[in-house]
Amino acid sequence: MDFPRLRLMRRLRDPLGWGISVLSTVLVLAALASIIGNILLRGLASFRLSVFWTVTHGVAGGLENAILGTLWLALWSTLLSAVPGVAAGLYCAWLAPPRWAGAIRFACEVLSGVPSIVIGYVGYTVLVLGFGWGFCTLAGAIALAAIQLPYITRATDAGLAQLGTDVRDGALAAGLTPGQTVLRVGLRAAAPAVLSGTLLAAAIAVGETAPLLFTAGWSPLVPDGSLLHHPVGYLTYVAWSYIEQPYPAAHALAYNAALLLLVLVLVLQVAARGLARRGLR
């Protein structure tokens, strides 16, 4: 039997389905292009090199304090999250009994599902008020580290899982101590995955705003190296709050901050991807 109309419909649906898929993908990529294009255009149009060595004053000035503050916060938060994160990942992949590993992975998933504003809020009530630290670098860095921790744990865990437990058993059979097995064999083999996960986590720290508003505060001064009791500035704050000011100079600063954020995050992401691909080979 032959159903010509049915056959025609089937034949038409095929290009229609794929066509809509292409359009959807193009739409998403066009939005990305619009974001990067607009931020680049606006940011570069008002860019002056002096933002690198001038601090913010009032609604104008430069971004020296914010740039250094962002790097200072990201450095501490990444240090604070990478050490326990890598340790937890190693434990999960090679040492833990399966049930424990499952529970820890589950906790990581729960933690990465917590909205960043909630982490910032708890950081405020516990660290800033409870411990009496005030707005400071350490409170901000701890809030960021809580967001980064599950990413680094998962990256380490996945990097070692790719290796498989045969490598571990082989190293043990060859007479290495368990410590040497974990550190020399496991960590070295998983190093690209660990590093790429850490760089991605650093990119997250650079781009976060909500958890910092009430832990790091804001400061127009260049960070002085203290961890407690002194608020610190960061780029995302400028991009968010200066665009709401009615002055062109403030808008220019917001565009510049967004431009620097975009460049910083893209560089970190590209580096992370490059490392991850090298690790796969």
Which residues ranging from 82 to 101 are in contact with other proteins (CB under 8 A)? 83-85, 87-88, 90-92, 94-98, 100
Is 107 near other proteins (CB under 8 A)?
A: yes
Is 280 near other proteins (CB under 8 A)?
A: no
Beta strands in 113-157 (DSSP E): none
- Binding mask of the shown chain, residues 149 to 168, with x at each position contacting other proteins by CB under 8 A: xx--x-----------x--x
- Options 51, 63, 68, 104; binder of other proteins; rule CB under 8 A: 104
Q: Which residue has the tokens 């804001």?
A: 218
3-class SS shares of the chain: helix, strand, coil, % to 5: 80, 0, 20
Is 278 near other proteins (CB under 8 A)?
A: no
Kindly state the DSSP code that residue 51 receives in the 8-state scheme: G
Tell me how far, at minimum, the Cβ of 22 lies from other proteins, in Å.
6
- Options 47, 265, 271, 279; binder of other proteins; rule CB under 8 A: 265
Distance CA 271, CA 136 (A): 29
Nearer to other proteins, 225 or 280 (CB): 280
Report the site for other proteins in 49-78 (rule: CB under 8 A): none
Burial of 122: CB neighbours in 10 Å, binned 0-12, 13-18, 19+ = middle
- Options 45, 117, 174, 267; binder of other proteins; rule CB under 8 A: 117
Burial of 220: CB neighbours in 10 Å, binned 0-12, 13-18, 19+ = middle
- Options 22, 79, 249, 267; binder of other proteins; rule CB under 8 A: 22
Nearer to other proteins, 23 or 53 (CB): 23
Count of all residues that appear for the chain in the document = 281
Is 47 near other proteins (CB under 8 A)?
A: no
Nearer to other proteins, 44 or 118 (CB): 118
Tell me how far, at minimum, the Cβ of 50 lies from other proteins, in Å.
22
Q: Where are the alpha helices (DSSP H) in 164-247?
A: 165-173, 178-180, 188-207, 210-213, 235-241
Beta strands in 9-77 (DSSP E): 56-57, 60-61
Kindly state the DSSP code that residue 124 receives in the 8-state scheme: I
**Region of 55-63, 131-139, 203-211, 223-231 interacting with other proteins (CB under 8 A):** 203-211
Is 44 near other proteins (CB under 8 A)?
A: no
- Options 139, 213, 250, 275; binder of other proteins; rule CB under 8 A: 213
Is 249 near other proteins (CB under 8 A)?
A: no
Nearer to other proteins, 224 or 266 (CB): 266
Tell me how far, at minimum, the Cβ of 142 lies from other proteins, in Å.
10
Residue 255 corresponds to which tokens in the numbers above? 């565009």
What letters, b where the CB count within 10 A reaches 16 and e where it falls short, cover 131-168?
eebebbbbbbbbbbbbbbbbbbbbbbbbbbeebeeebb
What SS3 class is residue 216? coil
Q: Using CB under 8 A, count the residues that bind other proteins.
A: 94
Tell me how far, at minimum, the Cβ of 183 lies from other proteins, in Å.
9
